C-alpha cells in the first residue's frame, strides 16, 4: 500500500482540511466537508459539484447565524411566527393584509404599522410575528414596550448620551413598540418621543400596539398640541392599520 493510499494518511488529511476550514471560520463548509466524508459521498461528486455544495452550505450557515444574531439583538418578549397567526377577518386578522406585511415591503418603504384593539386579542403576537419575520428577511429589529423606551431615553440623557441613543434608534430598520397610550406623555418625554418618531419618519419602520384606537391617541399627547399634531401626522399618514376585535383570546385558553 502506497503512502498516498494509506487510510491513516487519508484520515489525517481529511481532519486537517476540516480543521483549516474551522480555523478560517468557514463553519458551514467544515460541517459539509465532514458530512461528505462520513457518508462516503465525496468521491461521488465532481470537483465543481463539490465546491458548489461547500459554498451553499457556508451561505446557509451564515444566513442562519445572522438570523439568530438579529433575533437575539431584537430582544423579543414572545416567540411568534406569521405562519402561526389564526386568520379571521371578522376579528381583524385579514389574511391578505398580513401576508402582504410579511413580505416586509413596508419596511423597505419606511412605513408604520399601527395595531390596535382591546386586551388579549393578539396585538403582541402579531407585532412579534412581523418583527421576527423581518429578522428572517435580514432587517435589524428592536423590541420594547413604551415605558421601557422612555426609560432608556431618560437614562441616555442622564448619561449625557441622548444623541447616541437617537442615532442608533434611527438606524434600526424596524422598531416594535408595545403598549402605547398606557399613560399620557408630557414635558421632556413628549419631546423625546417626537424626536424618536421624526428621525424614523419615511426612512425606517415602526410597529406600535395600543389598546386605544388611533383617533384617541391625540388625547395622550395633547399637553402640547403642536407636538401632538406632528406625531400623529407622521405616524398615521402613511401607516398600515390593523384593528383587532372580539373577546380576549386569553380567556379562551383557560
- Residue 114 belongs to a domain with what CATH number? 3.40.50.300
**Inside any domain, residue 100:** yes
**Inside any domain, residue 77:** no
Identify whether residues 59 and 86 lie together within a single domain.
Answer: no
**Inside any domain, residue 2:** no
CA–chain centroid gap for 229, Å, is: 29
Question: What average pLDDT does the segment 49-60 reach?
Answer: 76
The predicted pLDDT at position 252 comes to: 54
Task: Name the residue range of residue 31's domain.
Answer: 7-69
Identify whether residues 47 and 89 lie together within a single domain.
Answer: no
Q: Which of 26, 46, 69 is the last residue of a domain?
A: 69
5 confidence band (pLDDT: 50, 70, 90): low
Where is average pLDDT lowest: 75-84, 134-143, 216-225, 239-248?
216-225
**Inside any domain, residue 75:** no
Q: Which of 69, 95, 110 is the last residue of a domain?
A: 69
The predicted pLDDT at position 138 comes to: 93
**3-state SS, residue 175:** strand
- Alpha carbon distance 142, 138 (integer Å): 13
Closest by CA position to 128, among listed 82, 91, 97, 172: 82
The predicted pLDDT at position 251 comes to: 56
Identify whether residues 168 and 113 lie together within a single domain.
Answer: yes
CB atoms within 10 A of CB 5: 8
Identify whether residues 180 and 231 lie together within a single domain.
Answer: yes
Q: Which DSSP string do the residues of 100-140 spell out, in sequence order? A: HHTTTHHHHTT--EEEE-STTSSHHHHHHHHHHHHHHTT--
**Inside any domain, residue 76:** no
Q: Are 98 and 87 in contact (CB under 8 A)?
A: yes
Where is average pLDDT lowest: 8-17, 224-233, 245-254?
245-254
- State yes or no: pLDDT of 1 exceeds 50: no
The predicted pLDDT at position 204 comes to: 95
Question: What average pLDDT does the segment 159-181 reach?
Answer: 94
Distances (CA, A) of 64 to 71, 136, 137, 175, 209: 11, 9, 11, 22, 29
Identify whether residues 162 and 234 lie together within a single domain.
Answer: yes
- State yes or no: pLDDT of 239 exceeds 80: yes
**Inside any domain, residue 193:** yes
Question: What average pLDDT does the segment 54-76 reach?
Answer: 83
Question: What average pLDDT does the segment 110-138 reach?
Answer: 95
Identify whether residues 158 and 186 lie together within a single domain.
Answer: yes
Identify whether residues 24 and 106 lie together within a single domain.
Answer: no
Q: Which of 47, 69, 91 is the last residue of a domain?
A: 69
Encode pLDDT of 93-110 as tens digits: 999 999 999 999 999 999
The predicted pLDDT at position 50 comes to: 72
Where is average pLDDT lowest: 64-73, 102-111, 129-138?
64-73
254 confidence band (pLDDT: 50, 70, 90): very low
Identify whether residues 65 and 182 lie together within a single domain.
Answer: no
Identify whether residues 89 and 63 lie together within a single domain.
Answer: no
Question: What average pLDDT does the segment 21-39 reach?
Answer: 75
The predicted pLDDT at position 25 comes to: 78
- State yes or no: pLDDT of 53 exceeds 80: no
Closest by CA position to 74, among listed 13, 153, 130: 130
The predicted pLDDT at position 60 comes to: 75
Identify whether residues 34 and 156 lie together within a single domain.
Answer: no
Global confidence as pTM: 0.78
Identify whether residues 50 and 122 lie together within a single domain.
Answer: no
Number of domains in the chain: 2
**Inside any domain, residue 1:** no
**Inside any domain, residue 240:** yes
Identify whether residues 94 and 180 lie together within a single domain.
Answer: yes
118 confidence band (pLDDT: 50, 70, 90): very high
Amino acid at each position: 500500500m502506497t503512502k498516498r493510499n494509506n487510510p491513516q494518511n487519508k484520515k489525517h488529511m481529511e481532519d486537517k482540511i476540516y480543521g483549516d476550514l474551522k480555523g478560517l471560520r468557514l463553519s458551514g463548509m467544515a460541517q459539509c466537508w465532514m458530512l461528505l466524508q462520513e457518508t462516503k459521498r465525496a468521491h461521488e461528486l465532481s470537483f465543481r459539484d463539490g465546491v458548489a455544495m461547500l459554498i451553499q452550505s457556508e451561505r446557509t450557515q451564515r444566513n442562519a447565524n445572522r438570523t439568530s444574531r438579529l433575533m437575539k439583538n431584537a430582544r423579543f418578549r414572545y416567540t411568534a411566527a406569521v405562519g402561526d397567526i389564526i386568520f379571521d377577518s371578522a376579528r381583524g386578522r385579514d389574511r391578505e393584509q398580513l401576508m402582504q406585511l410579511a413580505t416586509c415591503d413596508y419596511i423597505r418603504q419606511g412605513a408604520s404599522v399601527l395595531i390596535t384593539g382591546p386586551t388579549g386579542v393578539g396585538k403582541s403576537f402579531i407585532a412579534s410575528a412581523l418583527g421576527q419575520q423581518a429578522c428572517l428577511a435580514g432587517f435589524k429589529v428592536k423590541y420594547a414596550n413604551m415605558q421601557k423606551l422612555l426609560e432608556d431615553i431618560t437614562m441616555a440623557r442622564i448619561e449625557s448620551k441622548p444623541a447616541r441613543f437617537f442615532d442608533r434608534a434611527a438606524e434600526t430598520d424596524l422598531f416594535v413598540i408595545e403598549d402605547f397610550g398606557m399613560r399620557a406623555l408630557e414635558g421632556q418625554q413628549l419631546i423625546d418621543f417626537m424626536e424618536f418618531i421624526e428621525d424614523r419618519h419615511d426612512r425606517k419602520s415602526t410597529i406600535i400596539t395600543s389598546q386605544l384606537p388611533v383617533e384617541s391617541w391625540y388625547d395622550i399627547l395633547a399637553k402640547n398640541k403642536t407636538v401632538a399634531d406632528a406625531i400623529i401626522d407622521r405616524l398615521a399618514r402613511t401607516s398600515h392599520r390593523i384593528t383587532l376585535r372580539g373577546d380576549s383570546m386569553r380567556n379562551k385558553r383557560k
